[in-house]
Structure 1
Amino acid sequence: MARGSDASGGQRPLAGILWMLLTGANFVAVTAPVKHVGDAVPAPQAAFLRYLPELVFLAPMLGPLPRAGIDRRGLAQYSVRGLAHALGVICWFYAMTRIPIAEVPAMNYLNPVYVTIGAALVFGERLALRRILAIAVALAGVLVILRPGFRELSDGHLTMLFTARFFGASYLMAKRLSECDPAAVVLAMLKRRVTTPPPEATKL
Structure 2
Amino acid sequence: MSVAAVPHPALGIALVVTMTACFATMDSTVKYLGAFVPVLVILWARYSVQAASMGLWLARARRRAGGPGFRAAHPRFQLARGALLLTSSLFSFFGLQHLPVAEFTAINMLTPVAVTLMAGWFLHERVSRVRWALVIGGLAGALIMIRPGSGLFGWAVLLPLAGMASYACFQVLTSKLAGLENPFTTHFYTGLTGSLALSALLAASSVELAPTLRDAAPQHLALLLLIGTLGTSGHLMLVLAFRLAPTATLMPFMYAQLGMAVIVGWLVFRQAPDSWGWVGMAVIAACGAASAWLNVREAAQRQQALSAVSVDSIVD
Q: Shorter-normalised TM-score: what interval? A: 0.7 to 0.9
AA of the residue aligned to 1:11: P
Segments of structure 1 that go 5 or more residues without pairing to the other structure are none
2:4 is paired with a residue whose SS is coil
- Structure 1's 51 and 152: CA in aligned 2 closer, same or farther, altered over 3 A? closer
Map 1:13-24 onto structure 2 (within 5 A).
13-24=9-20
Tell me the C-alpha RMSD between the 2 structures: 2.5
Partners in 1 of 2:156 and 2:76 — Cα distance?
A: 31
1:10 aligns with 2:3: no
AA of the residue aligned to 2:130: R
Instruction: Give 1:146 deviation, angstroms.
Output: 3.4
Map of 1:96 onto structure 2 = 96
Instruction: Give 1:33 deviation, angstroms.
Output: 1.9
Map of 1:27 onto structure 2 = 23
Larger radius of gyration: 2
Map of 1:145 onto structure 2 = 145
Partners in 2 of 1:21 and 1:148 — Cα distance?
A: 29
Partners in 1 of 2:111 and 2:152 — Cα distance?
A: 23
1:195 is paired with a residue whose SS is helix
Instruction: Give 1:25 deviation, angstroms.
Output: 1.5
- Structure 1's 61 and 172: CA in aligned 2 closer, same or farther, altered over 3 A? farther
Q: Does structure 2 conserve the Cα–Cα contact (< 8 Å) formed by 1:118 and 1:172?
A: yes
Partners in 2 of 1:38 and 1:70 — Cα distance?
A: 34
Identity %: 21
Q: Deviations over 1:4-45 (max 9, x none)?
A: 5xx104322122112112211211221222121235544333
Q: Deviations over 1:70-114 (max 9, x none)?
A: 35xx21111111111001111111111111121122222222222
2:34 is paired with a residue whose SS is helix
2:98 is paired with a residue whose SS is coil
Map of 2:172 onto structure 1 = 172
Partners in 2 of 1:56 and 1:17 — Cα distance?
A: 28
Instruction: Give 1:133 deviation, angstroms.
Output: 0.9
Map of 1:108 onto structure 2 = 108
AA of the residue aligned to 2:125: E
Instruction: Flag the structure with higher helix content.
Output: 2
2:33 pairs with one of 6, 28, 37: 37
Map of 2:72 onto structure 1 = 70
Q: Does structure 2 conserve the Cα–Cα contact (< 8 Å) formed by 1:8 and 1:182?
A: no
- Structure 1's 139 and 66: CA in aligned 2 closer, same or farther, altered over 3 A? closer
1:123 aligns with 2:119: no
Comparing 26-35 with 150-159, greater Cα deviation is found at: 150-159
- Structure 1's 186 and 152: CA in aligned 2 closer, same or farther, altered over 3 A? closer
Comparing 160-169 with 55-64, greater Cα deviation is found at: 55-64
- Structure 1's 183 and 13: CA in aligned 2 closer, same or farther, altered over 3 A? same
1:52 aligns with 2:48: yes
Map of 1:156 onto structure 2 = 156
- Structure 1's 185 and 201: CA in aligned 2 closer, same or farther, altered over 3 A? farther
Q: Deviations over 1:120-169 (max 9, x none)?
A: 11111111122211232233234333333664622321211122221121
AA of the residue aligned to 1:100: P
2:190 is paired with a residue whose SS is helix
Give me the TM-score of the superposition, normalised by structure 1. Answer: 0.83
Q: Does structure 1 conserve the Cα–Cα contact (< 8 Å) formed by 2:106 and 2:146?
A: no
Partners in 2 of 1:14 and 1:161 — Cα distance?
A: 30
| Count of matched residue pairs | 198
Partners in 2 of 1:168 and 1:136 — Cα distance?
A: 15
Q: Does structure 2 conserve the Cα–Cα contact (< 8 Å) formed by 1:115 and 1:171?
A: yes
- Structure 1's 150 and 187: CA in aligned 2 closer, same or farther, altered over 3 A? closer
Q: Does structure 2 conserve the Cα–Cα contact (< 8 Å) formed by 1:35 and 1:96?
A: yes
Comparing 164-173 with 80-89, greater Cα deviation is found at: 164-173
